[in-house]
A = this chain, B = another copy of it.
């Protein structure tokens, strides 16, 4: 029985790039350690979720961990809130929110309050409160964006938006879409009226008005979602599990799944992360655990930037860090793959599959000797992300016998 190290290189898959002579960043990279893993293991392509699906990192990580997003993905609210580093517990209701400008007659004149350039932390803190037994937490996103999380008993996400989704109208009263949501709607309307008073008189907004900027005096809510209750990962697979991830949304998902979120100093979620430290931290975390997930965000960042050469380089930096894994392959089964493709030519996620390699000492090999999108396609595996965990359980000799 081996321990499992699952390395998700975010947005790993790519398409041919002219500037790399028709290669992907992965094909162009010097990657002796990834190639060592390929030539000592099994290889193939993995479709995130399903053939052709263009997933977000949230839905694909859920699927990779063995949670069916069609059952547990409750809309963007909870996942965006986690993405802002908010703690979201099962049963919490989370919203995407905008700071907007409401005129004296209560009409929303700008849904973005002129796109706010300064941080809104002060405003968010001012309207975070407990009210009617419910805890309201607001955290800032980019510009006018924010997220709201409600924590309390018997809350429901079956409520309407307050966001009118167009200007020239007042914000909507929140109304219940199901009878059992009436308590939630009532508390929320009370909260929003309190928040309006605070925002109207807040120094942040008085200063904006003085400067001639639109005050951010209304919090528009949309996309209510109830944070899902995930079956604990540790129970599901009988493994003590942790993760080493730089990006808050993935940390939030792992936390919801009951995995230990292992901190390390150099984690940044950017291309300048401490790659060596991240893998070292993961290997140390495995000493007291059976399973560790590592997310390396950098390839996705390079893909969104449309920068093939940066993508090549972050893969080389990652590869160098992977050297630490090879001496441990007696005790550890390692899998390296992506959560989705982020081709530089698109600067966005695509429906292309991602390469996958799974290696440990003593396992059957499939003759593939390099790790990249094209060579992997000649390997022995063609799977969907939902099959990855059971496959890893099988190959690490952790699967329960099914039958006699």
Binding site for B on A (CB under 8 A): 13-16, 24, 42, 45, 49-60, 69, 73, 76, 79-80, 83, 249, 345-346, 348-353, 362-367, 373-374, 377-383, 387, 389-395, 397, 399-404
**Interface residues of A, dominant DSSP:** loop
State whether B52 touches A404 (Cβ < 8 A): no
Q: Return A344 CB to nearest CB of chain B, in Å.
A: 11
Across the interface, which residues of B come within 8 angstroms of A380, CB to CB?
Answer: 45, 353, 377-378, 382
Complex contact A362–B16 (CB within 8 A): yes
Q: A249-B404, A377-B367, A403-B60 are in contact. Are A52 and B391 (CB under 8 A)?
A: yes
Given contacts A364-B24, A365-B374, A380-B377, is CB(A390)–CB(B56) below 8 Å?
Answer: no
Which of A79, A380, A402 is the most central at the interface, judged by chain B CB atoms within 10 Å of its CB? A402
Nearest neighbor of A353 in chain B, beta-carbon distance = B380
In-complex Cβ contact of A364 among B51, B56, B366, B373 (8 A): B373
Residues of B close to A366: CB separation below 8 A: 374, 377-378
> Given A15-B363, A367-B377, do A404 and B53 touch, yes or no (CB 8 Å)?
no
Which one of B52, B83, B374 contacts A367 once the chains associate, using CB atoms below 8 Å? B374
- Asked if residues B69 and A391 are in contact (CB atoms below 8 Å), the reply is no
30 contacts between A and B (CB under 8 A): A15-B364, A16-B363, A45-B380, A51-B391, A51-B394, A52-B389, A52-B394, A52-B395, A53-B390, A54-B394, A56-B402, A56-B403, A57-B404, A58-B404, A69-B403, A73-B403, A76-B403, A83-B404, A346-B397, A348-B401, A350-B394, A350-B397, A351-B393, A351-B395, A352-B364, A364-B373, A366-B374, A367-B377, A377-B380, A382-B382
Q: Which residues of B contact A53 (CB under 8 A)?
A: 390, 394, 399, 402
CA distance A14 to B402 in the complex (A): 18
B residues less than 8 Å from A381 (CB atoms): 382
On chain B, the residues within 8 Å of A374 by CB distance are 364-367
CB nearest neighbor in B for A400? B54
Q: Which of B80, B345, B367, B390 contacts A362 (CB 8 A)?
A: B345
Contact between chains at A59 and B377 (CB < 8 Å): no
Please measure, in the bound complex, the distance between the C-alpha atom of A350 and the C-alpha atom of B395, giving whole angstroms: 7
- The distance in angstroms between the C-alpha atoms of A73 and B45, with both chains bound, is 32
**Residue of A83, A397, A403 with highest tally of chain B CB at under 10 A:** A403
| CB-defined contacts of A379 to chain B, threshold 8 Å | 377
The 5 closest A-B pairs by CB, nearest first: A351-B394, A56-B403, A52-B394, A377-B380, A59-B403
Bound-state Cα–Cα, A389 to B53, Å: 10
**Which residue in chain B gives the minimum CB-CB distance to A343?**
B364
Q: B residues within 8 A CB of A345?
A: 362
Please indicate the chain B residues that have their CB under 8 angstroms from the CB of A56 in the complex: 401-404
Bound CA span A45–B400, Å: 21
- Chain B residues in 8 Å Cβ range of A399: 52-54, 351
Cross-chain contact A58 with B403 (CB below 8 angstroms): yes
Contact A383 B79, beta carbon cutoff 8 Å: no
